[in-house]
Each structure stands twice: as structure tokens, then as C-alpha cells.
């Protein structure tokens, strides 16, 4: 049999399978028995490749999938029966990035990521880069009353009207009478004159330069203002699992931190920047904390130290964090990362919650509390993110910082 000019990988693989099955039934005495007749007989006939989908095509099924740390962190969505389902992008991350090639390009463009990251809070309204700017997103699990209202108020676009950039509408050309110059009729576009339209477009572009939802944008903005003060030469933000910012060795803040004993030398200049009520260390399943003996594991001080150094200090990266910097809106508080980890290892007492075997709470002694302790640290599964959370949730991050103010060294630098 004359070989075909082209053969797919899948067909070649099937040929090998057929040959192995034949050999398993009748074992040849030597390789000389594997003649042309053998290969002709085992070659696939009328082969048709079956394409398999890497993920479920059903939007409702995909929305129930758990977070996969190997896949792109971008939030994707699909509309089904009038409501929208969210799910994680199915593509693999690029090396050292949290996004795939496609979403990384979108993130770096003016449009940005409309729905942000699956690891961040889900947006409730469409951003400025969308044609539905400002409209409520009809998530499938939203309040039933809200969904009912959205369905009632939804209006179909007339056939003689088309969408244009920014979500505005204009009449299609074929419905315009006479020899009207389309470019001269800018008042057909909602928003009246071109100056207003340009102003709105600039606003949309600026609003979408940062990835994700409100909290992610605010975090990136704070990192930019931090760099502007402490390292003006740094003009970019990192997307890697490493420290967020780096203080210039020429900045006098390092001298003050050395005087306070927070750092030993100016090489300890990398920062993990936090703000707001909650402090997230990582999202995703942690194998050591998923088994039945997770409480015993984390109660071991050596294990806890390793865990905190990995997810809080980013010790496995090329740029571990030497400092934790908390922005309270009026000033920045500088803590030594090793001091925080040491305090947590020595003072955090863990327990399991009755409702979930994998949920672990960490209590700290706090004289200001009525019970004398506070449950601040947590490892739990969050249904809203479809992923495990490690850190200080529900506003407890701010409470933890306030506790640190009374327990370890820190330096406050006003705005």
C-alpha cells in the first residue's frame, strides 16, 4: 500500500494502537515478521479524528468548576437563557504570568479585561470598554428580583438601529434619506457633540487600563503611587507571584527603617503592599491543608513558618518580600516581613470550624476583645470565588494590622 502524503498525529497514534493490539494477540518471533503485510493490515481504514473539548461546553457546568492554578486567571462568561454564567479561562498560563497569551494582550491593551480575574471579586456592572457600559450584569445567581427587573426593562434594538462604540446607537445608513453626509451628522450619536464623545472615550480608556474589578484597580493605583514616591524610576507593575514593589536604595525611608531595626541593610527593600479590610495571601487549594490531618499539620510551627514564607513572603520567587507595607489611606505602615511571620508562628492558635472539616481558623490573643482573643486568620473554601482562600477575610486584615501595631516594630510614613 502506498503511503498517503499527509497523515495526522491522531491517525498515526491509532495505527500504533492497532499494531500493538495485533502483537498482543500474536507475538512475532522476530522483527523480520513485521513486514509490509503486517503494517498494511493494521493501518486505520477510513480514519476520522474525533475532536475532544478540553472543558465542558455547557456554561452552567463550567461555572461549577473549581479554580485550576494551571489555567489562565481571566474570568470568561457565556450567556444562557437570558442570564450570564462565569467560569475560568481554559487556556494555560504563560510562564511567570497569571494570564494566557490572549488575555495578557487584552490586559495590556486600552480595553483591558472587562470581567477581571476569576480570583478577584466579580464585577456587578459592565465597564467602560463594553458596549453595555454601566449596565448591570445579569449573573445567573444574582437576586431573583433583580433578574426579573432586568428582563422586564430589557429592550430589543430596532432593526434600523445599530450599535456603535461606547454603547451608543445610530441609524443605519440605508435608512437615511437623501444624500446626507454621514460624517456631518454626529448629533445622531447619543451624547450629542463629538467633543463629549471623545471625552467619554478617553474616560473609558483610562478606566480600563487596570485589570479586574474595583479592588484590583485600587490596589494597582496604590502601587503606582507607592512607586512614584519611593522608586520613581519604576514605571511598571509586576504580575508575577513575587513582591509587589521595590524601594530605591537611594530613598531615605530605608535609613529610617534601619534605625528602627525593621531591616538590617538597604538590600532589604522589596515590599508586599496591602490595603483595605481584607488581606489575601493566596487563592487555591493547598494540599497540606486539604486532608483530615490539616489541623495537626498547621499546628506544627515549622510547617506554619514554611507556609507563611511561601505565600506571604513569596520565598520561592526571585524577589521575596522583605517588608509588608499597609496603606491605611492617610499613611503607610512598614513592617518587617520576618517579624510578622515570627509573631504569627508564636501566637496563632488554630482550630477547625464545625461546619467544614477543611476550614481552619487562627485565633490571636487580643486584650481589646471581650473574649480576649480574635479569629483573624483563615483557610476556607469560598463559594463566591469557587476556590480556597488563605489570609485575613471579612475585614479582619485591618484588625490584624491594628494588632501588629501593638505587638511588633513598625514605622509610619504619612502621605
Instruction: Dump pLDDT digits (tens) for 283-297.
Output: 888 888 877 888 999
| Choice among 72-81, 141-150, 184-193, 356-365 with the minimum mean pLDDT | 184-193
**Residue 397: pLDDT over 90:** yes
In which element (H, E) is residue 196 found? helix 194-207
**Residue 92: pLDDT over 80:** yes
**Assigned domain for 307 exists:** yes
Kindly indicate the confidence band of residue 187, based on its pLDDT and cuts at 50, 70 and 90. Answer: very low
Which residues make Cβ contacts (< 8 Å) with residue 56, sequence separation at least 6? Answer: 62, 65
Q: Considering the entire predicted model, what is its pTM? A: 0.53
Cite the beta strand spans of 196-329 per DSSP E: 245-246, 270-275, 279-283, 323-327
DSSP conformation class of 227 = H
Of residues 147 and 182, more confidently modeled: 147
Q: 266 and 208: one domain?
A: no
* Mean of the per-residue pLDDT values of the chain: 77
Of residues 247 and 150, more confidently modeled: 247
**Assigned domain for 242 exists:** yes
Q: 91 and 130: one domain?
A: yes
Give the C-alpha separation, 244 to 226, whole Å: 10
**Assigned domain for 80 exists:** yes
Kindly indicate the confidence band of residue 12, based on its pLDDT and cuts at 50, 70 and 90. Answer: confident
The pLDDT score that the predictor gives to residue 340 is: 97
**How many domains, the chain?**
3
Give the C-alpha separation, 404 to 407, whole Å: 5
The pLDDT score that the predictor gives to residue 83 is: 86
Beta carbons of 377 and 365 less than 8 angstroms apart:
no
Q: 25 and 94: one domain?
A: no
The angle subtended at Cα 151 by Cα 134 and Cα 214, nearest 5°, is 25
Of residues 79 and 232, more confidently modeled: 232
Q: 36 and 74: one domain?
A: no
The answer to whether the Cα torsion of 312, 316, 317, 319 is positive or negative is positive
Q: Which domain holds residue 133?
A: 56-138+189-212
| Residues above pLDDT 90, as percent of the chain | 33
Q: 269 and 326: one domain?
A: yes
Give the C-alpha separation, 292 to 13, whole Å: 42
Q: 247 and 290: one domain?
A: yes
Q: 71 and 117: one domain?
A: yes
Largest Cα–Cα distance in the chain? 88
The pLDDT score that the predictor gives to residue 26 is: 62
Q: 45 and 110: one domain?
A: no
Q: 61 and 96: one domain?
A: yes
Amino acid at each position: 500500500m502506498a503511503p498517503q502524503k499527509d497523515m495526522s498525529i491522531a491517525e498515526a497514534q491509532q495505527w500504533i494502537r492497532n499494531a500493538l493490539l495485533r502483537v498482543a494477540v500474536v507475538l512475532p518471533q522476530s522483527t523480520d515478521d513485521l513486514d509490509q503485510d503486517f503494517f498494511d493490515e493494521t493501518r486505520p481504514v477510513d480514519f476520522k479524528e474525533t475532536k475532544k473539548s478540553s472543558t465542558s461546553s455547557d456554561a452552567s457546568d463550567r461555572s461549577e468548576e473549581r479554580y485550576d492554578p494551571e489555567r489562565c486567571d481571566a474570568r470568561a462568561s457565556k450567556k444562557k437563557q437570558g442570564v450570564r454564567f462565569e467560569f475560568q479561562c481554559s487556556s494555560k498560563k504563560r510562564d511567570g504570568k497569571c494570564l494566557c497569551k490572549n488575555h495578557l494582550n487584552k490586559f495590556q491593551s486600552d480595553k483591558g479585561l472587562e470581567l477581571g480575574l476569576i480570583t478577584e471579586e466579580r464585577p456587578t456592572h459592565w465597564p467602560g470598554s463594553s458596549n453595555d457600559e454601566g449596565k448591570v450584569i445579569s449573573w445567573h445567581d444574582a437576586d431573583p428580583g433583580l433578574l426579573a427587573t432586568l428582563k422586564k426593562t430589557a429592550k430589543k434594538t430596532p432593526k434600523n438601529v445599530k450599535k456603535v462604540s461606547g454603547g451608543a446607537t445610530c441609524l443605519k445608513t440605508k435608512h437615511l434619506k437623501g444624500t446626507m453626509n454621514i460624517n456631518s451628522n454626529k448629533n445622531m450619536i447619543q451624547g450629542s457633540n463629538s467633543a463629549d464623545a471623545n471625552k467619554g472615550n478617553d474616560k473609558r480608556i483610562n478606566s480600563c487600563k487596570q485589570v479586574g474589578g474595583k479592588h484590583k484597580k485600587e490596589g494597582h493605583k496604590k502601587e503606582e503611587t507607592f512607586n512614584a514616591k519611593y522608586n520613581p524610576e519604576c514605571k511598571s507593575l509586576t504580575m508575577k507571584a513575587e513582591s509587589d514593589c521595590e524601594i530605591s536604595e537611594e530613598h531615605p525611608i530605608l535609613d529610617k527603617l534601619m534605625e528602627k531595626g525593621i531591616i538590617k541593610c538597604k538590600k532589604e527593600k522589596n515590599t508586599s503592599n496591602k490595603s483595605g479590610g481584607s488581606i489575601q495571601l493566596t487563592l487555591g487549594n493547598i494540599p497540606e491543608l486539604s486532608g483530615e490531618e490539616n489541623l495537626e499539620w498547621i499546628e506544627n510551627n515549622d510547617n506554619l513558618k514554611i507556609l507563611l514564607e511561601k505565600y506571604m513572603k513569596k520565598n520561592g520567587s526571585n524577589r521575596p518580600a522583605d517588608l509588608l507595607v499597609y496603606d491605611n489611606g492617610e499613611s503607610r505602615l512598614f513592617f518587617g516581613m520576618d517579624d510578622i511571620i515570627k509573631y504569627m508562628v508564636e501566637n496563632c492558635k488554630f482550630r477547625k470550624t464545625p461546619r467544614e472539616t477543611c476550614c481552619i481558623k487562627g485565633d490571636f490573643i487580643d486584650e481589646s476583645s471581650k473574649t480576649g482573643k480574635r479569629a483573624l486568620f483563615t483557610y476556607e473554601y469560598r463559594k463566591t470565588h469557587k476556590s480556597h482562600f488563605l489570609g485575613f477575610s471579612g475585614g479582619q486584615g485591618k484588625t490584624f494590622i491594628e494588632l501588629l501595631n501593638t505587638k511588633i516594630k513598625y514605622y509610619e510614613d504619612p502621605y
